Structure 1
């Protein structure tokens, strides 16, 4: 199974560098020189790329790949997802940390067992992680903090929520 570690936002400069929106808690590991990532283009095609360089810039990573040498080639990758195989991810020893793909699809319920939805995605924002939930067909973003998500039970297929009043309500 593939897990998304980034999304190519746009070409940067004239030498094929790309601005990447990071979607991993370990960018220094996922984007280290010599690492390989697979691009998933909008047309469904895939291509493996090798990281030649990566540096932080304005909240994104600027990444250069061995196989992308010009801006024209870089432009063809705009919007592509960067993925790695979940089998290539190292195990996590901390019981309070999770890979994003482990949370996707979990049932979201209240402490009394009332099911309110399911986890669609983990959103990494500058302010912290958010769980994107599907609640009756609506997208609801829930801060992924202990006060609001006190229990993550991957084996049981659920996250338990203690949301502040109004968080799950319709606008």
Structure 2
């Protein structure tokens, strides 16, 4: 089975480059020089990437053997495909940003924020969480830290390592206003509880 990753648009310049409509979430990985694509119609390919560069937000590709504007024009409308064995496994385990944004982030039974975005990085993805106080927290999107994603019930379950979320600050034994044995440790110049000014 094959997956379409791009559709060729109009020529760019006179040296055989073409614009492409990108249909993949990882263009930096899919269009590197040397990558070979199956093409529809088959008579136009296969095509091997010779160069890839961005002109603002438009991807420009050059292909081996395509050296003139006329040759590039002949490719207009052609669809580029790659084998999907690797991609199928990734897609089964992956999530798109629009599926995650708005989901509650839970640590146990506590709701610690909501997902506001997803940052896709070469090493690992990061979930962007907005805490109730407006603070932005980044969570590595790995199974050890995010063991459960439940889109149907609109939440993810997180098991954060120490320090990732400071959600237990008020339960650390230093809760402000907790009284206790602090009477003998009041700061100089400050009245202790029960003092009359």
Normalising by structure 1, we get a TM-score of: 0.53
The answer for unaligned runs of 5 or more in structure 1 is 99-128, 130-143, 151-158, 163-171
Closer, same or farther: CA 91–59 of 1 in aligned 2, 3 Å:
same
Q: Please say if residues 148 and 161 of structure 1, whose CA atoms lie closer than 8 Å, have aligned partners that are also in contact.
A: no
Of Structure 1 and Structure 2, the greater strand share is in 1
1:69 Cα deviation from its structure 2 partner: 1.1
After TM superposition, list the pairs within 5 Å mapping 1:1-171 onto structure 2.
Answer: 1-41=1-41, 45=43, 47-87=45-85, 89=87, 91-92=89-90, 95-97=93-95, 144-147=98-101
Q: Please say if residues 6 and 21 of structure 1, whose CA atoms lie closer than 8 Å, have aligned partners that are also in contact.
A: yes
CA RMSD between the two structures: 3.1
Cα distance in 2 between the residues matched to 1:16 and 1:161? 50
Of Structure 1 and Structure 2, the greater helix share is in 2
Whose RCO is larger (CA < 8 A, sep 6+)?
Answer: 1
1:6-39 deviations in Å (ceiling 9; x for gaps): 1111100000001011111111111001111122
1:145 is paired with a residue of what secondary structure?
helix
Closer, same or farther: CA 51–88 of 1 in aligned 2, 3 Å:
farther
* Number of aligned positions between the proteins: 108
1:46 Cα deviation from its structure 2 partner: 5.2
Cα distance in 2 between the residues matched to 1:19 and 1:35? 17
| Greater Cα radius of gyration, structure 1 or 2 | 2
The aligned residue for residue 136 of structure 1 is: none
The aligned residue for residue 145 of structure 2 is: none
Cα distance in 1 between the residues matched to 2:56 and 2:75? 20
Cα distance in 2 between the residues matched to 1:26 and 1:149? 24
Cα distance in 1 between the residues matched to 2:48 and 2:5? 14
Closer, same or farther: CA 97–45 of 1 in aligned 2, 3 Å:
farther
1:160 Cα deviation from its structure 2 partner: 5.2
The answer for unaligned runs of 5 or more in structure 2 is 105-150, 155-197
Structure 1 ranges of 4+ moved more than 3 A: 88-91, 93-98, 147-150, 159-162
